[in-house]
Structure 1
Amino acid sequence: MTTAAPTAALSLSALLRQPVTDSDGHRMGTLADLIVRLRRDDYPLVTGLVVTVGSTRGFVSAQDLAALAPERIELGVSTVDVREFRRREGEVLLSEDVLGHRLIDVSRAAFVKAYDVQLSPVLDGWAATGLDVHRRRWLSLGPRHAAHAPRDWKDFEPLIGHAESARVRAVTGRIPELKPAQIADIIEEATGGEQDELLAQVHADPELEADVFEELDEDSQSELFKDRSDAEVAEVLGRMQADDAADALMDLPQERRSPVLGLLPEPQRSRVHQLLGYHDLTAGGLMGTDFLALPATSTVADALTAVRGASLLQPQALTVIYTLAPDGTLDGALSLVHAVQADPGRSLAEVADRDVVSASPADDVIDVTTRMADFNLLAMPVLSEDRRILGAITVDDALEAAIPDDWSNREPHHHETRPES
């Protein structure tokens, strides 16, 4: 990995529009931009200069660079074939693409703006090693040109907006390091071009893509699905939790619902079809189809083994283990914590709570969330008239139902970052 030198760092803004000379001191033009190539685990390496010569912009290889300083940009040769600049795949222009543009502060999952780029000498030339994301305050009590110390380039994810090189940049992107809810928040705040870049990174991991779409608000989700084919929508819905997929399907235009439903893989299609029969403001509409139920005659050890093997179920659905009577009806419930603390050899019938708080599919969502709050439940089963488990409502879905729709628009916005002084 390239290591930046601790001293002799330069500011991009101090270099731009400075004269570029050959080895004999003759002026060739002025510096319009620096070209870097992104690298997966390293700082972007400067590979070329964009030099304005008359009315044209030409390319000069960084290999011909002899000196780079605010007062001196000198080439090591007396003659250079200045070719017309044409961006190649994977190249980034520090001034055109980064300076003054929005980036994502990965540590804070927030949009910031780049006000300057730090360049440092490295073993193989020069690299972009830092970013100044603080607006300059000219009317201050300190020195006129005082600037904040730049932060590490690797703390940020630049959104370049150049479609032809997006595929290369997606490989080096850091968006997948964020939590799905954080990515969803950023996508909702992003512009159209920024969304395209973010979604390109997310699309590389289908499971992450499904998790992100689950976290998007209805309007954003519908808008993003609008530009996708039925097969592409079904591909995403097929990996989402069934209750979230059912909600997303109902938000599609009516003429698209049946075709998309028909493209869902089994058993997802059956689960979604079942949930579509319930109103979304009822327990049936709120429940998910993931739950773990074992015969009451099973041992605690059996239950813990089943939990370990239930990798396809959402973790929230595993906080409670349900026990079944011989006829398949609900017999009891046991929290995962109690199961871990119990004697592994005891039967579930001995340790489970037989007085289970439950809901019916038609129960109002307000009654459901209030009941879960009153009894401090992490999950609550939804039962048919003959006490068979249809699904379970988890605390995350109950919270989502209880929070007002405009909560995410409250001020100040939870992932905005103000410039630091």
Structure 2
Amino acid sequence: MSQPTPRAATTSRVYLARLKGTPVFDPLGDQVGRVHDIVVVMRLKGAPRVVGLVVEVTGKRRVFVPLTRVTSIDPGAVITTGLLNIRRFEQRATETLVVAELLDRQVTFRDGSGTGTVKDVAMELQRNRDWDLTKVFVRRGGRGGLMGRRRGEGVVVDIQDVTGLARTAAQQGATSLLATLEDLKPADLADVLHDLPDARRLEVAASLPDERLADVLEELGEDDRVAIVSALDAERAADVLDAMEPDDAADLIGELPEAKAAELLERMEPDEAEDVRRLLEYEQYTAGGLMTTEPLILPPEATVATALAHARKEDVTPALAAMIFVVRPPLETPTGRLLGVVHLQRALREPPHELIGAILDKDIEQLLAEDDIGKATRLLATYNLTALPVVDEDRRLLGAVSVDDVLDNLLPDDWRGADEEVTDEAMTRTAHG
């Protein structure tokens, strides 16, 4: 039986940048995901061939869908045969991603009229039923132009009329890719960066604002974040470390070569560097090594309204926002004596003017800095908590261990890129090589 040939709604030409985010449906009309990118293969002779789509399905998983499994490409909808490969997409050396790598690539016009920036590419159905890249929409950036066209003008040209499109090592601007990633959560953006080629990953990471990059580094694996920080200017790297949670910054500093780590600590803000140095004194799999030094901390005289306002802060993780630690002054770690905690759910049931000292949970389990990760895990699971206080022998609060910190250290190092077990061997990536 021959494979179905995908058709366009009104034309055999499809502009690919516009496919980003398009819903993907099975033959019954149920949505199975959205188009994340388009995969092309550059050839020594002839136009680049489009081989398939990268589709983001449930759980932010990205899978490969060959064009032989696509039956229709309409405005606002891509229809498939319903047979999807459930393996996570992994880009091969011979493949190029349109959105991640071709958009914003600098090309040169063969007629000598200057250079330009790729803003879109179009594929067209060929007689052999393959889809090839045939047109390029280019924003001119060079001198003059063909037929008197002006600098900055957008033109559509045949793909053979430009050079530089297939350069695998070329650096392209990050503008278009960053625009498509703007709304992603840090963990999802970390997955995207992990999947990019090395040079592209570093370029995109360097283009992110400090706070955004800090959030993403907290979600990346060791190799990726060490490579990114090592490639940054030392002053910029220190600023990003300042924006990270102290425990994550300490983990990252501990992964760097000793000389590099010392240099960055010297360039960091003194208060932030002090917290990091303190955390580096603890073993990795102890409560001290896992804790953050910046949980929500208030005195007993604070009101419920104040506590809720602190919990609403955008930079507070959900795990830490669920608990306010109530202490005697000073309020910076190491604090005065820990009096107890206020659970967010309890605070929501109290009038705003109520003092949090009156609604304390004084029986909260505590960890010492030298307690191991096993004890932290058992206490969190036993009492259904999202965070635990870490104290010293005098019951001064040193920090807090949250459930997400524990999970990050219990899961395998490569858990972000691990695939689920594939049980249906019939769902193979046959059209992908």
TM-score range, shorter chain: 0.5 to 0.7
- Pick from 148, 153, 158: which aligns with 2:71? 148
Return the TM-score normalized by structure 1. Answer: 0.63
> Letter of the aligned partner of 1:136 in structure 2?
T
Within the alignment, does 1:297 sit opposite 2:297 as a pair?
no
The superposition leaves residues 187-246 of structure 1 with CA deviations (integer Å, 9 ceiling, x where unpaired) of 22333254256436xx33332221111111112222333333322322321211111011
Match of 1:134 in 2: 66
Equivalent residues in 2 for 1:42-191, closer than 5 Å? 99-100=49-50, 105=55, 109=60, 111=62, 133-136=65-68, 147-150=70-73, 158-161=99-102, 164=106, 165=117, 166-167=172-173, 169-170=175-176, 173-191=179-197
1:186 and 1:42 map into 2 onto residues whose CA distance is 15
Match of 2:217 in 1: 213
Identity %: 29
2:353 and 2:368 map into 1 onto residues whose CA distance is 33
How many residues are matched?
312
Match of 1:285 in 2: 289
- Pick from 215, 235, 241: which aligns with 1:237? 241
* Shift in Å, 1:355: 1.0
Match of 2:324 in 1: 321
Q: Is the 8 A contact 1:103 1:159 kept in 2?
A: no
**RMSD over aligned Cα, in angstroms?**
3.9
Match of 1:75 in 2: none
Match of 1:368 in 2: 376
Q: Is the 8 A contact 2:296 2:323 kept in 1?
A: yes
User: What secondary structure, in the 3-state scheme, does the structure 2 residue paired with 1:353 have?
Assistant: coil
1:174 and 1:378 map into 2 onto residues whose CA distance is 33
> Letter of the aligned partner of 1:148 in structure 2?
T
Match of 1:262 in 2: 266
* Shift in Å, 1:253: 0.9
* Shift in Å, 1:112: 5.7
> Letter of the aligned partner of 2:201 in structure 1?
Q
Note the residue ranges of structure 2 that are not aligned, 5 or more in a row: 1-7, 23-39, 79-96, 107-116, 118-171, 331-335
> Letter of the aligned partner of 1:352 in structure 2?
L
1:304 and 1:170 map into 2 onto residues whose CA distance is 39
The superposition leaves residues 36-91 of structure 1 with CA deviations (integer Å, 9 ceiling, x where unpaired) of 8979x999xxxxxxxxxxxxxxxxxxxxxxxxxxxxxxxxxxxxxxxxxxxxxxxx
* Shift in Å, 1:376: 1.1
Q: For residues 275 and 380 of structure 1, do their structure 2 counterparts lie closer, same or farther at Cα, with a shift above 3 Å needed?
A: same
Q: Is the 8 A contact 1:281 1:364 kept in 2?
A: yes
Match of 2:167 in 1: none
Match of 1:10 in 2: 12
The superposition leaves residues 139-195 of structure 1 with CA deviations (integer Å, 9 ceiling, x where unpaired) of xxxxxxxx5212668999712257545337437731222221122223223332542
Return the TM-score normalized by structure 2. Answer: 0.61
Within the alignment, does 1:344 sit opposite 2:352 as a pair?
yes
Structure number, greater radius of gyration: 1
1:206 and 1:335 map into 2 onto residues whose CA distance is 32
The superposition leaves residues 78-136 of structure 1 with CA deviations (integer Å, 9 ceiling, x where unpaired) of xxxxxxxxxxxxxxxx98697437875466655566xxxxxxxxxxxxxxxxxxx5242
Q: Is the 8 A contact 1:332 1:356 kept in 2?
A: yes
